[in-house]
Amino acid sequence: MVLGELLERPGLAPGNRLLVHGMASIWRGAWPELHEAVAVGRARGLPRADFEELLLQAVLFCGFPRVVTAFETLAEVWPVAEPPAGGGLPPAERGTAGRQLFAAIYGKNDAAVRGMLQRHHGELHDFVLEAAYGRILARPGLSPHVRELVAVGALAAMRQQRQFVAHARGALHFGSSLAELREVLVTVFGAEPQGTAEVEAWLQLVRR
């Protein structure tokens, strides 16, 4: 499904759909698709900072090598005189903000998930709470609602079912609807028959 047709669909704000599409493109290494998403976002008046925040969030889902290429794509499509910097919470606030955001997303499973991370490796636990959540996901550049929609799209593209369910429920906690989640999945998988079947299968995971 071409990007122009996706943006005409109701149920998901065009700017949010561009961010979801952009994240899926980064994961897939589909650089022409990311190029198009940035160009369309620029033409539609989406702030460049929204794409900057998307790419910083992509570090957590797609890894450094892809994100370096993604920033190169952003610079090619939308050059700036000075490189962006800052925008995060003060260092002293990141730990608390990260723990609060993590708890809001995982709800009653907060302690269990933190315990699982701790059992895997203490450094993994600390990185997730302090760096992933406190330094990146708690940044005020995008709302928690939008960040969770982007996370849902990324995790569906990666086919990470357990993490997808957790973040889909997080998106619902921050005000998303199942209809909005469906459109995130359509953005990732398409609206053709095969894509529609995948969309419904992933939604069923959230309904359980």
Tell me: the pLDDT tens digits for 6-46?
999 999 999 999 999 999 999 999 999 999 999 999 999 99
Domains of the chain: 3-87+139-207 (1.20.1290.10), 91-137 (no CATH)
| Residue whose C-alpha is closest to residue 147's, from 178, 117, 168 | 168
Q: Which two tokens stand for residue 30?
A: 């589909």
- Asked if 173 and 104 touch (Cβ cutoff 8 Å), the reply is yes
pTM for the structure as a whole: 0.95
- Asked if 142 and 53 touch (Cβ cutoff 8 Å), the reply is yes
Query: What percent of the chain lies above the pLDDT cut of 90?
Result: 96
Q: Which two tokens stand for residue 84?
A: 């962006």
All residue ranges of the chain with pLDDT < 70 are none
At position 56, the amino acid (one-letter code) is L
